[in-house]
Amino acid sequence: YRWYGEQFGNTYFQTFDRVLLDPACSGLGTLHKNPEILSWWTPAYCDRLSQTQQSLLISAIKSLRPGGVMTYSTCTLTPQENEAVIDFALQNYPVEVEEINLSGIKSWPGLTSYEGQHFHPDLSKTIRLYPFDRISEGFYVARLRKTDTMKAPSPERQKKPRKVGFLSRTTSPVKKYLDYLSGRFEIPDSILENFAYTLKNDIFFASKDFHQFLFYGKPLQVGLPLAHTMTQAAKLNTTGAQILGEFVQKHLVELDDLKTLEKFINRDGLDILVDNSGQFVVKYKECGIGYGIAENGRLKSQFPKAEWPFELSESE
């Protein structure tokens, strides 16, 4: 939406089952790649950000249905922008903190005190990721569940809903691109018919439930990117390959082991022969991972580039 986030809580009061709040922050967890942060960072700046983060958090909690779950995350390490914000929510709103289990990733419990300030003991269920534990960014994550209903906001004059021009599987101009994808990868029509589509330069797909959703502002994006369009064909992107991967029956490569998967997602050279040209969906243990293209008879990874290498380990 081209909106301020603070508007959602009243406009969509107790509407959503899930909310992801990733607010603007001071970014101290990214100092290794953004050292210029130290030229303007001050404690007062963090305090101002914390007030904005609290306002966004209030809006997010209001927009959650009772029983709904919100994830709060930042790429900074200051308690003012992390534990203090969540502590504010616990003290003033019907939410509780839930445990987060990140198997295979070293994490630290959230702070329950800092420089004489004490936070709710459940803040230990939130997690901190530090860049000195592995080659990564510093990060903070909290998972909150709404435990009760809230008092509805005062009625305001509501804008009329906007119409979003969703397309179906058989509606032009998206039809020819979906026909191509269905033919190349043998994706059953019964699967493609389950989504609503929008089309710009890329095709986006979303749940058909969005037909009933009331849009009071102009959405920046509805759903997830499926494919990039060309003149007569379309190319699945990584999200499309991941979501539709389990239904792909043709032009498919199944990775054999974790080491090969690690090479694929790090865009390293692969010793995988492919017979045909063009795009292939890549899976690991029946899960869609991404896609590759045939180059000189071998599969070349097209997994999105990352700033740091992925390190994988088998889950216990």
Distance in angstroms (rounded) separating the CA atoms of residues 17 and 209: 14
Neighbours of 78 (CB within 10 A): 22
Distance in angstroms (rounded) separating the CA atoms of residues 300 and 311: 19
Banded pLDDT at 258 (limits 50, 70, 90) = very high
Looking at CATH, the fold of the domain delimited by 5-146 is given as Rossmann fold (3.40.50)
What is the model's pLDDT at position 30?
A: 85
Element housing 50 (H / E): helix 43-63
Please say if the pLDDT value at position 80 is more than 80: yes
Banded pLDDT at 316 (limits 50, 70, 90) = very low
Is 251-316 a domain of CATH 2.30.130.10? yes
For residue range 295-314, list pLDDT tens digits in order: 999 999 999 987 667 777 66
CA distances from 286 to 210, 238, 290 (A): 28, 15, 12
For residue range 203-249, list pLDDT tens digits in order: 999 999 999 999 988 888 899 999 999 988 999 999 999 999 999 99
Distance in angstroms (rounded) separating the CA atoms of residues 95 and 133: 31
Amino acid in the structure at residue 265: I
Distance in angstroms (rounded) separating the CA atoms of residues 213 and 242: 25
What is the model's pLDDT at position 2?
A: 66
Distance in angstroms (rounded) separating the CA atoms of residues 24 and 50: 10
Q: What are phi and psi of 271, to 5 degrees?
A: -100, 60
What is the model's pLDDT at position 157?
A: 65
Q: Which two tokens stand for residue 233?
A: 């064909």
Q: Which of 7-21, 130-144, 242-256, 278-292 has the lowest mean pLDDT?
A: 130-144
For residue range 184-202, list pLDDT tens digits in order: 999 999 999 999 999 988 9
